[in-house]
Chains A and B, each alone.
Chain A
């Protein structure tokens, strides 16, 4: 009797376990299909453009929808230009904030205040950044441009990069803070006991230990920069040409798609815009994969 009961109980457990596993697996499979689905949809809808322009689309320098001359290079360049410039500008700031919050001021009023400010920055809608850029940043950039003796557009690569810097900063800063806080006290103590100063401990023990996590944060923020649409659209000048310099107006892939998508019913044109979406999707994926590989290589454990 009792034996029978306990096997029944075990059977019930086994069933629950099976259901639970089933849910987990199906969630994973759904995500996989979603990614594949995106890729397939984008590819199908860009067929027309792919057939018309072939691989040359990626290197085409001219974007003239009226003449059916369509090339993606200006937007690829614009995207990389703004994203990497923003990344470069953001690293010193986000690393400083991460060290400040993760090692120097782990708790207390200053730290709480700074932490919530960083979180607020991360949660702010990008249209607000766009507005702020137009009303605050553009006039300042215009002044700089006048002082430098160049045409005072105000909008362009430089302005967009600054806004992107502020927008991506919270991501790398908060991930950086988390991984810096995870560095074992053991190791810091060992370094202090050998006569290291606090600065030396940070530079030679904490950062090397946390570097793969710090790097992960940077890659995540790069992903955000590559795909940011609204704020960039408001500030880049939407000039569909390869940018000539840092102050030049330009356009990015995401911003072009948002701008032009609704404006056309012409099939080839539409298909070219979707192909740009496909390229953006692939670039983001490749950067994430490379990032993951580097993280794996530099990881301590």
Chain B
């Protein structure tokens, strides 16, 4: 069995009084891709935002239950530290328009006021851009603003920005839903390559995408975890009737 890096224990999330996640128990295996699937509004985004403690930034939003990173309760850690260890990529590409490509990649350090020697920064930028398959495309324009980049490139720049912090886990929230098919397949390839170095959680609406990139899949429905398991198994012989109906496109 795979080593678990991240786990939730009876995790519930609320917006004010409304409970949108209900007692989620999940274990995420290290250096694998886990897909989180389910119909719109079922709580996928909320789940991953609990994992890097972004949920609590929304006024009135609270959680009960626990999240553990390497058996360490993240609510006992400084949220800033948690967010550096668990990176995030959003649905819409959101590079900082005021910064150059270079500064975007190194933004995590700059924002936190962490000072690094110039050559160390250069190394981090180059490595991160190589890992996100961007280096060849932008190595001559590093000091230009990223606004001329295509949507797909911008999203890979955001992935590089997350990778630059050397996180242990990366959360991807429907990272390709705003992109065309070509840019999408490029990002899917990237995800498969990245799992050698980092654990990936990807929220997706697209069952085919989950099948292509993930090792494990969690299926959710109105705030509850319905089924979790090996992707290839779940896609061929799901345990749950609801999972089967979702996968065959009967709802969602």
B interface residue numbers (CB < 8 A to A) = 52, 54, 57, 80-81, 83-84, 87-88, 90, 92, 94-99, 107-108, 110-113, 147, 158, 161-162, 165
Contacts and interface: CB of A to CB of B under 8 A. Distances in A.
Given A186-B90, A189-B54, A189-B90, A194 B96 contact: no
Contact of A194 (B97, B98, B112, B147): B112
B39 to A, nearest CB: 23
A193 B97 contact: no
Nearest to B97: A300
6 contacts: A186-B90, A187-B94, A189-B54, A190-B94, A194-B108, A204-B110
Given A200-B111, A200-B112, A195 B165 contact: yes
B113 A193 contact: no
Contacts of A192: 54, 57, 83
Given A187-B97, A195-B84, A204-B111, 10 more contacts: A194-B83, A194-B84, A194-B111, A194-B161, A195-B81, A195-B111, A195-B112, A196-B80, A205-B111, A301-B147
A68 interface: no
B109 to A, nearest CB: 9
**Central interface residue in A187, A192, A195, A301, by most chain B CB within 10 Å:** A195
The DSSP consensus for interface residues of chain A is: helix
Contacts of A223: none
Contact of A196 (B88, B112, B162): B112
B54 A191 contact: no
A300 B83 contact: no
**Central interface residue in A184, A204, A209, by most chain B CB within 10 Å:** A204
Contacts of B96: 187, 190-191, 205
A208 interface: yes
A246 B1 CA distance: 78
B220 to A, nearest CB: 22
A264 interface: no
A300 B147 CA distance: 9
Contacts of A190: 90, 94-96, 158, 161
Contacts of B99: 208
B165 A194 contact: yes
Contacts of A204: 110-111
B26 to A, nearest CB: 20
Contact of A195 (B92, B97, B108): B108
A200 B84 contact: no
A131 B127 CA distance: 65
A208 to B, nearest CB: 4
A96 interface: no
B173 to A, nearest CB: 10
B83 A186 contact: no
Contacts of A209: 97-98
Contacts of A186: 90, 92, 94
A193 B87 contact: yes
A197 interface: yes
B88 A193 contact: yes
Closest 10 CB pairs of A and B: A194-B108, A193-B88, A196-B111, A186-B94, A208-B98, A195-B84, A195-B83, A195-B80, A190-B94, A300-B97
B84 to A, nearest CB: 4
Nearest to B87: A193
A197 B80 contact: yes
Contacts of B92: 186
Contacts of B162: 193-194
B227 to A, nearest CB: 28
A195 B57 CA distance: 12
Interface in A160-214: 184, 186-187, 189-197, 200-201, 204-205, 208-209
A194 B113 contact: no
**Central interface residue in A189, A190, A193, A200, by most chain B CB within 10 Å:** A193
A297 to B, nearest CB: 13
A139 B27 CA distance: 72
A208 B92 CA distance: 21
A201 B54 CA distance: 14
